[in-house]
Structure 1
Amino acid sequence: MKIITKVSGCLFFGIIVVYFLVVYARRKEATNNGFNRTIFKTIHDSPSITNLQVSSYYIIGLSEKVIYLGNHARSQQVLVLPYNGNKVDTSWLNIPDSTLFGWGAARIHKQGNIFYLAEGVTPNIISFPKLDTEGVLLQPGFNHFDIIIPLDSFFIFRMYDTSLRKNILARAQYGQQGTSNPALLQNQLDGVFSTDGMLLFDSATKRFIYVYYYRNELIAFDKELGNVIHGKTIDTVSVAQITMQTVKSENSIKFSSPPLKVNKYACTYNGLLFIYSGLRADNERGKIAFTSSPIDVYRINNLKYMGSFYIPKYEGRGIRDMAILNNRLVILKGNEIAVFNLHLKLLFNID
């Protein structure tokens, strides 16, 4: 009798849980966000997936034959793996022994065939024409940064301006003091969190793009921080939905609740901007709304929306990094790396 009672209790509890989950899902699905997506169908084939064992890797860049991954846990490490994931090689970026380097802030970048190891605390920028060689120290001047796009003769970066008390974008040639354009980033609630975002470079158009995390704004500009184009993502979140609190014991400001991240990740390729959106569209219902990650596509020359496609979630995991080269989309999800073959030429009419 006791066993029957326990089983009945567990069954009843399970039914209640399922009921509330269904109600929650329906209410969430019924909530409109004020925009629709134009969906491109059959844009990719089934992916090849490789387990990387750890989630500390990030995408440095892609080449015709291989993927280059950096490791947040080992700042000098470069993982080199082919698109089929069959063989993985490890390379290292070596710096001069006398270099004072802020390893905790370091990140590896790739532009063309050149690798750059950069950190904005000390600051340092080191270039590597080849892997497994000692790098060449480039002079960043006294330009401190938290985000950077290093190129052959100059770099574009984001820094915190203490006098303006906000994030600003700047440009500097190696060995020289940078020049900034404080008007590029517009703060709302504050000068840090509301202006946070991603700095990207598109080699096809030679333009830089800034994608805000917490609002629907895009900015494209040239290497002189001019010829600015302003655009918007298709959602309606024009004001960052963030709340903050001051922690006096730590002398810091933190989020008091999780912010609404509108644009989660982004990458560029051949004049196109790809954004992994954090918002569901009004015309997305049922399974697709909760089991897929939407990628919205914009043209960089005018920041106009073109359309969207979906990437399936695996075990509920969304995208945490992404890159595109030719017809391959590379995505990091948890410990795994997935490679999709895209049909970009057919859909977007690019060579």
Structure 2
Amino acid sequence: MIVVKFVKEYYVNIVAYLTALLFVYASISKLLDFENFQVQLAQSPLLSAYAGIISFSVIIVELVLAICLCLPKAQKMALYGSLGLMSAFTFYIHTILNYTDFVPCSCGGVLEKLGWTEHLIFNLLFVFLAFAAILFKERKENPNAKLFRPVWLSIACVAISSGVVLVLFLRSEHIIKKENNFTRRFLQHPLLKEKSYDLGVNSYYFAGIDGGNIYLGNTTAPLFITTIDTGLTNAADIKVQLDNKNYTFRNLKLSVRKPYYYMYDGSVPVIYRGRINDTLAHTISYGDAYFNQLVVLDSMKFAIRTQRRTDKQYTIGSLDLNRTKKLELKPDVLEKQIDGIFDVDGILTSDIQNGKLVYTYVYRNQFIVMDSSLKILARLNTIDTTSRARISVTRLSNGNNKMSAPPFSVNKGSMARGNLLFNLSNLKGKHEPSKSWKTSSIIDVYRTDEQQYIGSFYIRHMNNTPMSAMLVSGNHLFVLIGNELVRYKIREGAFKVNSNRNRPLWEQPVDKGTKKGIAENLEKIRRKPINT
């Protein structure tokens, strides 16, 4: 009887003060590590697009509720507010556990030691305590009143708060993938570093990959082809002999597409071709076109970027050596904004697996997907917001254009494979720590068959040297960093999309067996949820 009397008398205040203490502790923990809290909140699959405003709002609401819970006149309203806030936290964790395998980490203090399930139970306990306190408070103030009103008000608080989280989740997903809000989604451990190979020098670049071999060119030794197996165990060099080398080359490049390798410069209108393992390369094109970028489409057909004679602007063209009219320009591909040269600068790459070409602008947030005949299939956007090139160009008296100020570079490199574009970004997104940008390169992954951002991942620098090139083949990513050729294993399903629904893996419906597997993986790489 004494215990029951004590509970009736003091239960509401005990719950109010205990909840106020929890909110004060949680808010102070967030404030003490606010940058980390905000950065990690930005990784949430539910709230990432609103990380900025939510990071401040949660702290303010927790402190206001903590104060009101200690004031007798405001206590009842604060209990309803606490019920709603704890319900929102609980619904957030429930959604993370059941509908996504992308797990952010935003805890602090003692609550950081709690796992996802423990945290869910912890929150549910406070939801129950707050609901019971509301009923006790109502009964104490109105002993003869029915509890119909407080029960329905409590249900409304739970429904509204959970609904707000749901709306934020749906809206956040839409903004990140469709509206180009510059908030990155970092994928959960998509890569596992397996092996590296010391090349000795840092002047190598990827020339191609096929048949279990990687082919490397060397800017300081342009007539050498370096072949290394994909297991990174053995390397061999072949020195190429050109059938005619009476030209003044500026930058002789190598490209390999079995069964041939190609040598070209572009400042000299010549293309050489030789069979792999044959040291002699024959001239197959001379005087057909000048160019500054070239992609091999087949043995006698190429996609190039060149300058039009009429206005010196960059344009994409097709060079088909089997046709009478070998060069065909496609002036509608690159869209001029300022000068038609620097503003349309970009990287031309091919998706051999799907027969596509992708041109990624350097100074704006767009990439163009084309088929092998250079017909535009889509103009798609990267997640940054630079839709117009931010460059300053001066036209010299000789008619040439020159940058008159440092340009605002958006994209530094890209490669396409299997309807995916791997883009080396040059811009820091919202809530990303500066330290990470000093120690890592960031790759953003996009679909090339529709407007969709898949996610991002880091490639760590080695000896303070960033990556210079990348190549994807099968379930491996190869990266050149300084003197090193590094092989990463791509986690199964990391960039997988559902062929029926055209969605990334974490959006796909899963059966019980798959859910169990995801749960087991989450347990292995467990991170903590947002603390209350």
* Equivalent in the alignment of 2:3: none
Q: What's the secondary structure of 1:45's corresponding residue?
A: strand
* Equivalent in the alignment of 2:466: 318
* Equivalent in the alignment of 2:81: none
* Residues 102 and 119 in structure 1, CA contact (< 8 A), matched pair in contact too: no
AA in 1 matched with 2:351: D
Alignment of 1:238-277 (within 5 A): 238-245=387-394, 253-277=401-425
Deviation at 1:178, TM superposition (A): 0.9
Q: What's the secondary structure of 2:192's corresponding residue?
A: coil
**Ranges of 4+ aligned residues in structure 1 off by more than 6 Å:** none
AA in 2 matched with 1:292: S
Alignment of 1:77-226 (within 5 A): 77-96=224-243, 98-139=244-285, 142-150=288-296, 151-174=298-321, 176-226=325-375
* Equivalent in the alignment of 2:380: 231
The runs of 5 or more residues in structure 2 that have no matched partner are 1-34, 40-51, 53-179, 500-532
Q: TM-score, normalised by structure 1?
A: 0.82
Work out the CA distance in 2 between the residues paired with 1:244 and 1:55. Answer: 32
Q: What's the secondary structure of 1:322's corresponding residue?
A: strand
Deviation at 1:215, TM superposition (A): 0.8
Work out the CA distance in 2 between the residues paired with 1:85 and 1:69. Answer: 13
Moved more, 207-216 or 339-348: 339-348
The one-character-per-residue Cα deviations of 1:43-83 (angstroms, maximum 9, x if unpaired) are 11124233323222111112353321101112211112234
* Residues 247 and 254 in structure 1, CA contact (< 8 A), matched pair in contact too: yes
AA in 2 matched with 1:335: N
Q: What's the secondary structure of 1:194's corresponding residue?
A: coil
* Equivalent in the alignment of 1:15: none
AA in 2 matched with 1:149: V
Work out the CA distance in 2 between the residues paired with 1:48 and 1:332. Answer: 12
Deviation at 1:147, TM superposition (A): 0.6
Q: TM-score, normalised by structure 2?
A: 0.56
Q: What's the secondary structure of 1:189's corresponding residue?
A: coil
* Residues 34 and 281 in structure 1, CA contact (< 8 A), matched pair in contact too: no
The one-character-per-residue Cα deviations of 1:80-125 (angstroms, maximum 9, x if unpaired) are 22345443311122221x4544432321112243211122233111
Which one has the bigger helix percentage? 2
* Equivalent in the alignment of 2:443: 295
* Equivalent in the alignment of 2:209: 62
* Equivalent in the alignment of 2:522: none
Which one has the bigger strand percentage? 1
Out of 331, 334, 337, the position equivalent to 2:479 is 331
Q: 1:263 to 1:314 in 2, by over 3 A?
A: same
The percentage of counterpart residues that share the same residue type is: 26
Work out the CA distance in 1 between the residues paired with 2:181 and 2:490. Answer: 29
Deviation at 1:303, TM superposition (A): 4.5
Q: What's the secondary structure of 2:226's corresponding residue?
A: strand
AA in 1 matched with 2:264: A
Q: Does 1:309 align with 2:490?
A: no
Q: What's the secondary structure of 2:214's corresponding residue?
A: strand
The runs of 5 or more residues in structure 1 that have no matched partner are 1-24
Deviation at 1:254, TM superposition (A): 3.4
Q: CA RMSD in A?
A: 2.7
* Residues 301 and 318 in structure 2, CA contact (< 8 A), matched pair in contact too: yes
* Residues 93 and 131 in structure 1, CA contact (< 8 A), matched pair in contact too: no
Q: What's the secondary structure of 2:390's corresponding residue?
A: coil
The one-character-per-residue Cα deviations of 1:147-190 (angstroms, maximum 9, x if unpaired) are 11122231111110131331001112116431111111112221
The one-character-per-residue Cα deviations of 1:222-277 (angstroms, maximum 9, x if unpaired) are 222214310111100112222234666x9854333332221111111122110011
Deviation at 1:300, TM superposition (A): 1.6
Work out the CA distance in 2 between the residues paired with 1:71 and 1:350. Answer: 39
Which has the greater radius of gyration? 2
Out of 343, 347, 351, the position equivalent to 2:491 is 343
AA in 2 matched with 1:225: L
